[in-house]
Homo-oligomer: A and B are copies of this chain.
Amino acid sequence: MNSYIVIFQPDGVCVEVESGKTLLEAAAAAGVAIDSACGGQGSCGKCRVIVTLGRPGGQSGDQLSRAEIQQGVMLACQATVEDDLVVEIPLESQRTDLRILTSEAGAEPSLTQDDVPLARSMSVHVFEPKFGDEEEGDAERLLDAISACCSGSFGDFEIGLSALRSLPTLARHETDLSAVIADLDGRGYVVSLSPDARPTYGLAVDIGTTTVVVYLVDLDTGRFLASCAHLNDQVSFGEDVISRIIYTQEHETGRAELRDAVRQTIDRCLLRAAEEHGVTPDQVVAGACVGNTVMTHLLLDIDPSGIRRDPYIPAVRALPTLLGREVGLRVNPAAPIYLAPCVSSYVGGDITAGVLATGMADSPKLTLFVDLGTNGEIVIGNQDWLVCCSCSAGPAFEGSGLEYGMYATVGAMERIAYDAAADRVTYRTISDAKPRGICGSGLVDALAELLRTGVIDRAGRINLGFPSPRVRVRDERPEFVLVWGEEIGREHDISLGDDDIQNLIRSKSAVYAGVATLLETLGLETGQIERVLLAGGFGNYIDAGNAVTIGLLPDLPLDRIQFVGNTAIAGARMLLLSRSARRRVQELAKRMTNFELSTTRGYMDRYVSGLFLPHTDLSLFPSVARQLEVEV
C-alpha cells in the first residue's frame, strides 16, 4: 500500500497516510479538527476544504457549486488521498479555538481534613535501616511510616510497583520522603515517591460528545490552575453518540479508533494546560473523568453497542478506580483514574456529577435540572427523590445542522437583538471577532426576537410579507438576514432560514416535552418547580427570558431560573478532591430513577404539540402570550 504526505493549512500540520484514506480520516490522524456533522456520509457539506496542491481522488459531492469545484473545493469526507497534497481548511470548516463553558456552578469545593482527595502527596518520615533490621525491607519500613501518618484514612496500604522500584535508592538514610498516596476505593496505594516535596496535580475531565474540557488542579491546595477545552476528535467519526456506536459496529478497528481519538483529545488538553504551568505528565497523579455512558464505554474500549439495541443496557454502569496505564492517558502510569458512575444507557456520569455539583440532591427545594449538550438530560427532584431521563434534542443549540450555526467559538454571535422599527440587528460576538456564525445563546435570542417582532409566526415560518429587505427567499429558501456580508467584508450574508428554525424548534420541543412528560408522570404541576437549573454548551450565558419565550423552558418566574454553566466539570473536580463526593455520587447514581421517554406514548404527542413557539397550547406560557399580545 502506498502512502502519501498531506499538509493541512493554515496550521501546517503534516501527516503520512495510506492511499485511499479520505481527507477527513487524514485530518483525524493528524489531530486537525474539521467540522463534520454527518460523520463522513457526504450529506452535511460542512467539511469543505480546498486542495491547493496535488491531485486528490474521490468525488466532489452534490453539496458543491460549480464555482466551488473550480476553486478546488472538495468535501474532506469524499476526497481521497492518492497523491501528496496540501489542503487548506477554510475558516468555516475549522473547529479550533473553542470557547467552552469551563465556569463552575456552585461554591468552590474546599478541602477539609477528613476529606481524602483521589491522590495527595504527604511527607513521610523514614528511618535509616540498621543492622538487625533485616527482617523488614525498605517497603515494610515505608508502610509503617505511612500508617503512622494516615492510617485513619485507609483500610490497607499497597505500594505500586513503580514506586517500589524507586524505593531502594530513596530509603537508605533517615529522611523525609514525599509519597503520593492514592485512594483506590478505600485502599491506600502508593503511586510514587520522591526525595523532595514536588507539587502534584490532578485532572478533572469532562468528556463531552462534542467537546472535551480538562481542568488542571493543584492537589495540595485544591486550587484550579488552568483549563483547556478541545473538540472531541471523535467528532470526525460522527456527530452524536448513536452515529459513533454505528461506526464501531461497521468498522473492524472502529472501537480502537474512537478510543484513540478521545485519549488523544484528553492528552492534548492535558499537555496544553500542563505546559503553561511547567507541569510534567508524571506530576499528574490523579484524574476524575465524567462523560455520558457512551463516552465512558469508548474511553475504556468497551463495546457500547448494547446501548442502542433493545433492551438498551450498557456494559457497565459503575467502575472501580482504574490506573492511568489501564486507561491509557498520558498521566503518571500509576495515577488513579476515577470515572463517575452512570445511571443508565442515556443518563451518564456527566449527569450524576452534575447533580452532585448543583447540590440539588441535598436541598429540600424541588429542582428541575436540564443539561443541554449534544443530548438533553433532565433531572427532577430534591433531597428525598430524583428522577431522570434523556431526550434526543440533537445538537442544534450547539450550532450543528444549521447553515450558519456554529460552536461557541471565536466569531460566534452570542447575543442578538433586532430593532424592527430601525430594521437594525445588534449583536455581540465571542472575542469581539468578525461574526462567522451563531452559537446556542445567540440562536435562543434570535428565535425569541424574530417571534416577538413578527418576522416569524408561531409555527416558526418566516412572514414573507414582513417589511424588511432582511426577509427574502434564496434558492427557494425563506430566510432572515442577520448580518449583511458587505458590512463585514464577507462574500456571504449570515442568515437564519426556515429549515434552521424548524431544526431549533424540534430541539427545544424535545427538551420541553421531556420536562412535561416527567412532571406528569410524577403528578407535578409546573408551578411546583421551585428552581430551574440550566446547564450546557450554549455559550457563556443564556437569556432566561428568551429561553422561556421560545418554549425551551417552562414558563416560570425568571428569578427561579438559573444558568449554571458546565456542571459536569464542576462535579469532576469535586470527585477529584473529595472521597465523600466520590461516595456521594455512587449513592446518587443508585438513587436516581431512570425514566425511558422513547417508549412513552405521551412523550411523542407532547413533542408534536411543542413544535410551535412557544407551544401549541399557549395557556402553558401565559407570560409569553402577554408578550405576544395574543388572547389565550
Contacts and interface: CB of A to CB of B under 8 A. Distances in A.
A169 B255 CA distance: 14
Interface stretch (A95-103, A158-166, A371-379, A393-401): A158-166
Contacts of A138: 306, 313-316
B345 A168 contact: no
Contacts of A133: 311, 313
Interface in A576-632: 593-594, 596, 599
Interface stretch (A115-123, A204-212, A222-230, A318-326): A318-326
A533 B322 CA distance: 46
Interface in A153-191: 158-159, 161, 164-165, 167-169, 172
A300 B164 contact: yes
Nearest to A300: B161
A32 to B, nearest CB: 30
A161 to B, nearest CB: 6
A404 to B, nearest CB: 38
B137 A314 contact: yes
Contacts of A301: 165
Given A158-B320, A313-B129, A302 B136 contact: no
A310 interface: yes
Interface in A271-307: 300-306
B135 A315 contact: no
A134 interface: yes
A71 to B, nearest CB: 47
Nearest to A312: B134
Nearest to A187: B187
Q: Name the residue in A301, A305, A320, A596 with the highest tally of chain B Cβ atoms < 10 Å from its Cβ.
A: A320
A135 B317 contact: yes
Given A167-B315, A168-B315, A310 B137 contact: no
A174 to B, nearest CB: 13
Question: Main secondary structure on chain A at its contact with chain B?
Answer: loop
Contacts of A300: 161, 164-165
Contact of A303 (B159, B168, B311): B168
A494 to B, nearest CB: 42
Contacts of A316: 137-140, 159, 164, 167
A570 B310 CA distance: 52
Nearest to A157: B320
A265 interface: no
Given A320-B158, A326-B161, A134 B313 contact: yes
Nearest to A158: B320
Contacts of A131: 310-312, 596, 599
Contacts of A139: 315-319
Q: Name the residue in A135, A137, A164, A305 with the highest tally of chain B Cβ atoms < 10 Å from its Cβ.
A: A137
A540 interface: no
Contact of A168 (B167, B305, B312, B318): B305
Contacts of A165: 300-303
A306 to B, nearest CB: 5
Contacts of A167: 302, 315-316
A490 B314 CA distance: 73
A589 to B, nearest CB: 9
A546 interface: no
Interface in A58-79: none
Given A161-B300, A305-B168, A326-B161, A313 B136 contact: yes
A579 to B, nearest CB: 17
B136 A317 contact: yes
A574 interface: no
A137 B348 CA distance: 12
A302 B162 CA distance: 9
B303 A134 contact: no
A591 to B, nearest CB: 10
Interface string A86-125: 0000000000000000000000000000000000000000
B132 A311 contact: yes
Interface string A311-352: 111111111101000100000000000000011110000000
A130 interface: yes
Interface string A500-518: 0000000000000000000
A136 B322 CA distance: 20
Given A165-B302, A168-B305, A326-B161, A315 B137 contact: yes
Q: Name the residue in A130, A165, A326 with the highest tally of chain B Cβ atoms < 10 Å from its Cβ.
A: A165
A129 B317 contact: no
A29 B315 CA distance: 44
A562 B286 CA distance: 55
15 contacts: A129-B311, A131-B311, A131-B312, A134-B344, A134-B594, A136-B313, A137-B317, A138-B313, A138-B316, A139-B317, A139-B318, A158-B320, A161-B300, A161-B326, A168-B305
The 3 A-B pairs at the shortest CB distance, nearest first, are namely A139-B316, A131-B311, A137-B317
Given A167-B302, A168-B303, 18 more contacts: A129-B306, A129-B311, A131-B310, A131-B596, A131-B599, A132-B596, A135-B317, A135-B343, A135-B593, A135-B594, A137-B342, A139-B319, A161-B300, A161-B322, A164-B316, A165-B301, A165-B303, A168-B302
